[in-house]
Amino acid sequence: MPELPEVETTRVGIAPHLVGRRIKGLVVRQPQLRWPIPTPLIDALPGQSINAVERRAKYLLVHTEVGSAVIHLGMSGSLRVLGENTVPGKHDHYDWHLDSGRVLRFTDPRRFGSLLWQPAGTTHELLAKLGPEPLGDAFDGDMLWRTAQGRSTSVKTFIMDQAVVVGVGNIYAAEALFAAGIHPRRRAGAVSRMRYAMLADAIKRILRYAIDRGGTTLRDFISPDGVPGYFEQELFVYGRAGQACRNCGTPIRSITLGQRSTFYCPRCQH
């Protein structure tokens, strides 16, 4: 599934082609994605000018005067800006036709992505209870430490809770815990304030670096220019079970936490 760096890479890629452009029309080939594409969106967007493209957690928000389209890429979705006459493929589910003569096209083989509507002045229910952005000033080690007090869940599950902090998905949670030297099974409430400061710094650093490197290509992610991300080649623990730790040479181990595969070094992480 595309994680925060992949979604941010997509936002950076499509925004220059969208902001200031008018939407001439929509072509919806598959109205049933994860949820049905809402009729109010289909009715409202044609004729609107795009004011901004923002990211909230793993959602993209395309803002107009009358409301915002809320886009999620799902497990295999991608957005690309193409020439208006580019022939759609089997998994190309909708196009936004722009006054520039280009189209914003959504492709999703698994159809777990979504296109939803947020009327102006409202907040969509999927966004209403989200925690702070990991790259923002509101997120730091002290905030993590305070929130963790009394919690018996594992620290990895804790930092992946979208009500605690948004956008720290499975890949980057594993990498940040390795960088901070924290065992993923450690109880969230038992991690010290100092180590949470290290973890918050690692989350920020790794996410920023992944954005700079174009995200992580594991299965399906392709950026809007058609180029896969390549942070994957630099992962320290994720997906490396049985391989030598890049720091100490100990074989990386894999366990399951919260129904997710979790990778760690038994020597470097405590």
Annotated catalytic residue within 3, 8, 175, 232: 3
- Which DSSP string do the residues of 52-66 spell out, in sequence order? EEEEETTEEEEE-SS
Look at the block and give the residue holding tokens 């390549």: 230
Annotated catalytic residue within 11, 58, 156, 195: 58
Crossing angle for the helix pair 193-212 and 170-180, nearest 10 degrees?
Answer: 130
**What is the side-by-side strand order in the sheet with 52-56?**
52-56, 59-63, 67-72, 114-119
Residue 226: how many other CB atoms lie within 10 Å: 10
User: Contact at 8 Å (CB) between 126 and 116?
Assistant: yes
| Mode of pairing for the β-strands spanning 78-83 and 102-107 | antiparallel
Gap between the Cα atoms of 252 and 77, Å rounded: 30
Give catalytic status of residue 5 as yes or no.
Answer: no
Give catalytic status of residue 156 as yes or no.
Answer: no
Q: Residue 85 corresponds to which tokens in the numbers above? A: 């006459």
Residues 6 or more apart whose CB falls under 8 angstroms from that of 229 comprise 5, 6, 9, 210, 213, 214, 215, 216, 217, 221, 223
Q: Is 110 annotated as a binding residue?
A: yes
Gap between the Cα atoms of 144 and 165, Å rounded: 9
Give catalytic status of residue 246 as yes or no.
Answer: no
Give catalytic status of residue 3 as yes or no.
Answer: yes
Residues with a known catalytic role: 2-3, 58, 260
Binding-site residues for DNA sit at 91, 110, 151
